[in-house]
């Protein structure tokens, strides 16, 4: 009976009910839209980095620091015996890195020369192009689109690179650009020149050496002696996780503002409704309804606003969520300008768990907010309500 009374009162409020419902629905839709965008960003960045850069874990030379190119001179060693078999089976990919300088069109730019087996299958980039036959006196090399744009290079161009080998001697050679690839991961592109691993090992006078080893299988975190340190996938993605967390933290301020405004609207509606219906409350008390039951009725009325809002969210927001998750949306400012490894086409992730979690949180808050103005009824005497006065 209490549910029927609450539902009838909510529907009888007419426009006021539907305005509150629309405000709550709009709040839910915006929160789900933004939260799904952040979840989609995390998924998209992680997939791009795993498929093009990280594999399922890596082993690093103990001196390797990706943020300090000066460490590359001493950041390589012979591939450890436990991994040689995996490398032969293409279950692991060794990568050698040395710092150098490139001279495109009369300019000099710092660059990192990276060697990788042309027949590798772990990273989803076209390194097989490195097996292309190059003219005599040159070595086949690849660069990404960002690097090509920075150096004004095109396929077929020949450039000179200089480096310092493992013996401390400086040397130079001509490279021919056999392919310009496109990658969503800036770390695989900007300032990088890719060569065949065997060619770079010869150039550096360090046969069988590597700087990092990328694994196709998930690692358990166990190091290989003192020279090689394992890096599990979560550790390699730590910067990406922190990036998305910081974005979510900024978005949470906006969520709180929306929720606060919608809750204020419901609170005011409930407080005004209770004030205007004092005699009705007294009548219900005189007929035998307990104070707590009446307070529960008003609380339930507020909750019905949230239930209606959830339905409206499904009707209005459902097609929007489906369309964005199916086709995504275009980001006008390229993510590469901020060093974010993702394309300019974002695919949000609107999972059922996200939608249910958002709706449940709103309903819980709504129940609490609806109870606050109704709690005074629990101490109200029937004759006071009938006289229209509150003690």
pLDDT at 385: 57
Tokens of 373: 């103005």
pLDDT at 371: 80
pLDDT at 378: 58
pLDDT at 4: 76
CB atoms within 10 A of CB 249: 9
pLDDT at 249: 81
pLDDT at 136: 87
Residue 303: closest CA among 353, 269, 257: 269
pLDDT at 273: 74
pLDDT at 383: 58
Distances (CA, A) of 122 to 93, 94, 233, 383: 7, 11, 14, 80
Average pLDDT per consecutive 10 residues, the chain (391 residues; last block may be shorter):
72 79 90 88 87 91 88 89 88 93 86 93 92 89 90 90 90 93 86 93 92 89 79 88 83 84 83 72 71 77 86 91 84 56 75 88 87 69 59 51
Give the pLDDT confidence of 19-74 residue by residue, as tens digits: 888 988 999 999 999 888 888 888 888 888 899 999 999 999 999 998 888 888 88
pLDDT at 95: 95
Distances (CA, A) of 370 to 5, 274, 293, 298, 367: 16, 11, 14, 7, 5
pLDDT at 212: 94
């Amino acid at each position: 009976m209490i549910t029927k009374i609450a539902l009838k009162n909510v529907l009888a409020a007419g426009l006021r009910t539907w305005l509150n419902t629309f405000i709550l629905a709009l709040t839910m839709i915006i929160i789900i839209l933004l939260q799904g965008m952040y979840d989609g960003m995390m998924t998209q960045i992680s997939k791009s980095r795993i498929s093009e850069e990280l594999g399922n874990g890596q082993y690093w030379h103990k001196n390797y620091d990706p943020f300090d190119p000066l460490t590359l001179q001493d950041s390589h060693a012979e591939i450890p015996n436990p991994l040689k078999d995996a490398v032969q089976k293409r279950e692991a990919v060794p990568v050698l890195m040395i710092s150098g300088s490139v001279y495109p069109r009369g300019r000099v730019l710092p660059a990192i020369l990276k060697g990788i087996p042309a027949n590798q299958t772990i990273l989803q980039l076209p390194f097989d192009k490195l097996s292309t036959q190059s003219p005599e006196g040159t070595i086949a090399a690849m660069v990404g689109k960002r690097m090509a744009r920075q150096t004004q290079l095109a396929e077929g161009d020949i450039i000179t690179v200089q480096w310092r080998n493992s013996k401390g001697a400086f040397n130079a050679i001509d490279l021919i650009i056999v392919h310009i690839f496109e990658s969503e991961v800036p770390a695989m592109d900007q300032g990088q020149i890719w060569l065949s691993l065997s060619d770079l090992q010869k150039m550096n006078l360090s046969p069988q050496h590597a700087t990092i080893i990328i694994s196709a299988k998930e690692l358990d975190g166990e190091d290989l002696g003192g020279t090689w340190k394992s890096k599990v996938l979560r550790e390699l993605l730590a910067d990406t996780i922190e990036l998305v967390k910081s974005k979510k933290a900024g978005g949470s301020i906006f969520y709180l503002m929306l929720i606060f405004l919608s809750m204020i609207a419901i609170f005011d509606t409930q407080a005004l409704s209770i004030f205007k219906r004092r005699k009705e409350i007294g009548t219900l008390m005189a007929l035998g309804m307990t104070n707590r039951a009446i307070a529960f009725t008003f609380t339930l009325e507020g909750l019905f606003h949230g239930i209606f809002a959830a339905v409206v969210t499904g009707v209005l927001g459902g097609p929007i969520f489906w369309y964005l998750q199916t086709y995504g949306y275009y980001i006008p400012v390229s993510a590469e300008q901020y060093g974010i490894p993702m394309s300019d086409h974002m695919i949000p992730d609107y999972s059922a768990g996200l939608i249910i979690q958002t709706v449940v949180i709103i309903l819980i808050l709504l129940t609490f907010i609806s109870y606050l103005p109704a709690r005074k009824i629990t101490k109200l005497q029937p004759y006071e309500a009938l006289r229209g006065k509150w003690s």
